[in-house]
């Protein structure tokens, strides 16, 4: 089952969800680690290269995810309170918005000096150059705040899923964890 049904998410939505989750955690961990690298570290140039390349990959996957979500049905709600459904929709919108903000601010950081971003030596995403004064630093602040915010949102997302599973005892978590 590739597409979503009224009861559960399809294979494409499920895989995109979990690949995105792994990438978000990995990019956060890499970013957290690499900011303390010094010029003499062997990873000083390599870590940012991989962070940017995987960031671009996640950006592409996020665009595919949004297009897939808009062109595919969403499983019906499985009960619960209306306020929970509204909060869940807002949280998902916030997650998508934060992902895009993180990626755009990362692009602004990386291209402020006029150089493009290499995608695994396949091609280069061109730079628009410095669009505003102090771009690298301001975009860096936004990038960092958004990264920590998305991690907090992910924790809330996981806690909500666990609440549905262990307290409400509904099928919510099973709809995104079954790989049929």
In order along the chain (180 residues), what is the average pLDDT of each group of 10 residues? Answer: 90 96 98 96 96 98 97 82 89 96 98 97 96 97 98 95 90 77
- Give the pLDDT confidence score for residue 37 in this predicted structure: 96
Does residue 29 lie in a domain region?
yes
Inside any domain, residue 2? no
- Cα–Cα dist 158/36, whole Å: 29
Residue 4 lies inside a defined structural domain of this protein: no
What is the residue range of 24's domain? 11-177
- Report DSSP state, residue 1: -
Give the pLDDT of residue 179.
63
Domain-located, residue 173: yes
**CATH code for the domain of 45:** 1.20.950
Q: Is residue 42 part of a domain?
A: yes
In a domain, 5, yes or no: no
58 in a structural domain: yes
Please tell me the predicted confidence (pLDDT) of residue 35. 93
**Cα distance between residue 44 and residue 92, in whole Å:** 34
Q: Total domain count for the chain?
A: 1
Q: Is there a domain that residue 59 lies in?
A: yes
Contact in structure between 3 and 72 (CB atoms under 8 Å): yes
Contact 119, 74 (CB under 8 A): no
């Amino acid at each position: 089952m590739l597409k979503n049904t009224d009861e559960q998410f399809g294979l494409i939505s499920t895989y995109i969800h979990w690949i995105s989750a792994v990438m978000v955690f990995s990019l956060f961990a890499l970013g957290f680690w690499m900011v303390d690298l010094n010029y003499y570290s062997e990873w000083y140039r390599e870590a940012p290269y991989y962070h940017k390349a995987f960031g671009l990959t996640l950006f592409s996957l996020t665009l595919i995810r949004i297009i897939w979500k808009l062109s595919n049905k969403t499983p019906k709600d499985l009960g619960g309170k209306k306020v929970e459904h509204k909060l869940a929709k807002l949280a998902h919108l916030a997650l998508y918005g934060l992902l895009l903000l993180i990626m755009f601010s990362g692009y602004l950081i990386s291209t402020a000096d006029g150089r493009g971003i290499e995608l695994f030596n396949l091609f280069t995403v061109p730079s628009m150059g410095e669009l505003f004064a102090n771009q690298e630093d301001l975009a860096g602040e936004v990038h960092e705040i958004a990264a920590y915010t998305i991690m907090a949102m992910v924790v809330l997302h996981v806690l909500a899923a666990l609440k549905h599973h262990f307290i409400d005892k509904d099928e919510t978590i099973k709809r995104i964890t079954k790989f049929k």
